[in-house]
Amino acid sequence: MEATQSNPELNVANLERISEKADGPRNHFKIAVLADTHLWYDELKLAVARINSDTTLDFVVVAGDITKFGYADEYDRFADIFSGITAPSLVGIGNHDVQADGKTLYLRMFGPTDFSFTYRGVKFIFFDDNARGIKCCIPDFTWLEKELADAGDSLRIFTVSHAPPLSDQLDSAQSLRMAGLFAKYRVMLSIHGHTHSYDYGQPFGDGVPYLVADDIGDRNYVAITLSDTALSVERVFF
Amino acid sequence: MPICRLKRAAMFWAFLLGAWLACPGRTEASRSALLPDYMRLQYAGQAGLFSIGPGYSWWHRRVESGLSYGYVPAFIGDRNIQILSQRNSLSLARFHVQGMVLEPAMVGMATHVSVGDKYQVLLPKSQQDYYWPDGLFFWFFSGAKVGYMFRKPTPIAGMAAQIEVGTINQYFKAYTTNQSVTLDDILSLAISTQFYL
């Protein structure tokens, strides 16, 4: 896979693979979440091997920052290693990934930064919230609220964005707006990376849990299991 | 903001050029000595698909230092990229063979700056401990050169061809932190021609 060449958009291709399994039991699935792979290629290879050993995973989510500098070489190296993963995978965009020409490379390699899909009764919403230094329209709150509202009462909601609210990528107004939307539409889980340390809690005390995955350099990822109403979050070390 | 960055970049290069011209040995030199000692045309080497620029030599051309302007066309780099570079090299050995000058061991370093509003070279203070400026990178290289100086007076005093292998600091970091990243992954090649004036 080379970011510098024309490729199928990997997220789009993997969404098709995921949709083939979407008719399984409602509100039952297991996914893996990793984040901030940056230049940890050795650890990424180990993560791929560990993830492949878990045949119960429905798909894998990468919560952004697959590069350190946003260079084509880094995109290519990540894609080369990650192509070894057997489960379908979806890659979100991180603040490092948009450096230099990174965003162009991301769009070419993975497809749109903001997208959503429904899997077994849960609506997943991926969006770009790397707003630091960006003057306009990130996060795209209009799109985000529409996606949240469209879930209605019949679907649960998982959101995925690189930076958690109250991190350096979002100012306080943006953080509060995001958290307010998540509370309003009763998001079941908000998934992030960015801080390079694991965290799972309710920082706003509003019933919305925020999960922050550790960086891959610390040799762990998170396995999330939804079983009807029970949500289980487990760190997997490798 | 982009104009401010361009201004800062222009001031940076103007300062370098001024300091260069004001250095001892240059101020005492004749007007002709202010003219560059060579012009260099390079292919690849992270300085642009092609780059061109003047330079000066010392110590019988064993030490060389120059500036260059490089260009990456959009069909390769997604956008037209312009790169300003300052490059220094040292020849560690030299042999004269049948009128040719062979320099089999050269080492050096170049500072590359991608210009334009897409790239940052000077980061805001608040970001300096977190980001590496994406428009700034250093090229470390070693190489070999073969040259020929014309005996008869001609507009060009001589020519040299050089090949070098190198990497940039960002790739080197990936190499030093991963066993799975090999030298083959991070090294790239540059070819250049120099025209001595």
Read off the pLDDT of residues A183-198 as tens digits, 9 standing for 90 and up.
999 999 999 999 999 9
Of residues A107 and B8, more confidence is placed in A107
**A112: in domain:** yes
pLDDT of residue A132: 85
How would residue B25 be classed by pLDDT, with cut points 50, 70 and 90? very low
Which DSSP letter does residue B73 get?
A: -
B176 interface with A at CB cutoff 8 Å:
no
- CA distance linking residue A96 with residue B136, whole number of Å: 15
Question: Containing domain of residue A22, as a range?
Answer: 10-237
Mutate to test the interface with B, among A65, A69, A97 (most CBs of B within 10 A): A69
- CA distance linking residue B37 with residue B160, whole number of Å: 13
**pLDDT of B101 over the 60 cut:** yes
Q: ipTM of this predicted complex? A: 0.76
The first and second tokens of residue B29, run together, are 């030199």
- CA distance linking residue A37 with residue A65, whole number of Å: 6
B117 interface with A at CB cutoff 8 Å:
no
B5 interface with A at CB cutoff 8 Å:
no
**pLDDT of B39 over the 80 cut:** yes
How would residue B20 be classed by pLDDT, with cut points 50, 70 and 90? low
DSSP string of A123-174?
A: EEEE-----TT--S-SS-HHHHHHHHHHTTTTSEEEEE-SSPTTSTTS-HHH
B79 interface with A at CB cutoff 8 Å:
yes
**pLDDT of B127 over the 80 cut:** no
**pLDDT of B176 over the 80 cut:** yes
Mean pLDDT across the stretch A10-38? 95
Mean pLDDT over each residue of chain B, to the nearest integer: 85
Mean pLDDT over each residue of chain A, to the nearest integer: 94
How would residue B117 be classed by pLDDT, with cut points 50, 70 and 90? confident
pLDDT of residue B22: 46
User: Over the stretch A143-178, which tens digit does the pLDDT of each residue have?
Assistant: 999 999 999 999 999 999 999 999 999 999 999 999
How would residue B42 be classed by pLDDT, with cut points 50, 70 and 90? very high
Query: Which CATH number belongs to the domain containing residue A93 in this structure?
Result: 3.60.21.10
**pLDDT of A1 over the 50 cut:** no
Q: Which residues of chain A make contact with B170, given a CB cutoff of 8 A?
A: 68-69, 71
**pLDDT of B116 over the 80 cut:** no
How would residue B79 be classed by pLDDT, with cut points 50, 70 and 90? confident
Nearest to B180 among A42, A74, A168 (CB): A42
**pLDDT of A3 over the 50 cut:** no
Q: What percent of chain B has pLDDT over 90?
A: 60
B134 interface with A at CB cutoff 8 Å:
yes
At A117, the amino acid letter reads F
**pLDDT of B181 over the 50 cut:** yes
pLDDT of residue A141: 97
**A4: in domain:** no
Mean pLDDT across the stretch B18-22? 51
Q: Could you give phi then psi for residue A44, rounded to 5 degrees?
A: -65, -40
B177 interface with A at CB cutoff 8 Å:
yes
Using DSSP bridges, classify how beta strands A210-212 and A199-201 pair: parallel, antiparallel or unpaired: antiparallel
pLDDT of residue A151: 96
Task: Find the range with the poorest average confidence among A63-67, A95-99, B12-16, B114-118.
Answer: B12-16
**pLDDT of B28 over the 50 cut:** no
Q: Do B174 and A70 touch (CB under 8 A)?
A: no
Q: How far is CA A132 from CA A73, A101, A112, B128, B164, in A?
A: 24, 16, 19, 14, 39
**A3: in domain:** no
Nearest to B134 among A40, A100, A105 (CB): A100
**pLDDT of B165 over the 80 cut:** yes
Shortest Cα–Cα distance, B75 to chain A (Å): 10
* CA closest to B135 among chain A residues: A100
pLDDT of residue B6: 56
Where would I find the beta strands (DSSP E) of B8-132? Answer: 38-44, 50-58, 63-72, 81-91, 95-97, 100-115
pLDDT of residue B55: 96
Q: Do B185 and A77 touch (CB under 8 A)?
A: yes
**pLDDT of A4 over the 60 cut:** no
Nearest to B79 among A68, A99, A101 (CB): A101
Q: Which residues of chain A make contact with B118, given a CB cutoff of 8 A?
A: 100-101
**pLDDT of B75 over the 50 cut:** yes
User: Over the stretch A72-111, which tens digit does the pLDDT of each residue have?
Assistant: 899 999 999 999 999 999 999 999 999 888 999 999 999 9
**pLDDT of B21 over the 60 cut:** no
Task: Find the range with the poorest average confidence among A42-56, A209-223, B116-130, B145-159.
Answer: B116-130
Q: Do A39 and B118 touch (CB under 8 A)?
A: no
Mean pLDDT across the stretch A37-63? 97
List b or e across B163-187, with b for residues whose CB sees 16 or more CB atoms inside 10 angstroms: ebebbbebbbbbbeebeebeeeebe
Q: What percent of chain B has pLDDT over 70?
A: 83
How would residue B120 be classed by pLDDT, with cut points 50, 70 and 90? confident
How many structural domains are present in chain A? 1
**pLDDT of A214 over the 80 cut:** yes
Residues of chain A that touch chain B, judged by Cβ-Cβ distance less than 8 Å: 4, 39-42, 45, 68-71, 73-74, 77, 96, 99-101, 104-105, 133, 168
